[in-house]
Amino acid sequence: MLCIEAPAEPTRAPPFFHRVNPRRGNFVSDCDTAADATIRAMSSTAENIAALRKSYERAELSEEASHADPLRQFDQWLTESIKGQLPEPNAMTLATVASDLRPSTRIVLVKGYDERGIVWYTNYDSRKGQELAGNPWAALQFHWVELERVVRIEGRVEKTSAAESDAYFASRPLDSRIGAWASPQSQVIPGRSVLVANAAKYSAQFLLNPPRPPHWGGYRLVPVEWQFWQGRKSRLHDRLRYRSEGGRWVRERLAP
């Protein structure tokens, strides 16, 4: 197809003839690339995303009604999210920072919490494991959308004991235990067939009793700061921070 060059527009200088798009009233090139077509396909959502808004009016969070101990406040909110049958209330975002100062995030599941900290389990050789080995400081975030609540936790990360990791690993379903052996997490693989073959291999090797892999176990984040966010009307949200100072927790309100 022959493309005829047209005069440049003030803000765009497309080198090809354009036809009018009746929906938007702008121009669409007859010689558009696949990337151009993708941009057009996304344009409706991209243009309207800024108009999406929600008024937060479910609850409030005051100093008087909150616990002095952030762990008790967390326990209350997590319990309420479970009783409310929210989808995966134990899901949390884990943020780590690599030695080159590039941050990364992923979703993990909290598997325990007490005065010592917040626990999850994963592959020690994964990207997050490697980043935590180089920089043990991390942040967690829970977002319970239906309750209009967010909890943020910052602290230093340490590995759980081998006994803790063994006990939790033994409690997992058999397929999950085999999966811990089968997946070289965060490594490039040529296809899903690698995972399927590895799963078959370790299933035949371990039968019903796979041991915990040496590269798999628990982490515990020891909090030094908590933040509790409750959505409020007119974007005047409630935001309480607890920071560790002299062996006690100092509670203070932050502007939203």
Task: Point out the residues that are catalytic.
Answer: 235
- Do the beta carbons of residue 184 and residue 125 sit within 8 Å? yes
Alpha-carbon separation of residue 223 from 3, 42, 99, 137, 160 (angstroms):
62, 41, 22, 10, 15
Q: Which residue has the tokens 């929906």?
A: 23
Structure tokens, 88 = 């995966």
- Do the beta carbons of residue 122 and residue 216 sit within 8 Å? yes
Q: What is the DSSP string of 37-79?
A: HHHHHHHHHHHHGGG------S----TTTS-SSHHHHHHHHHH
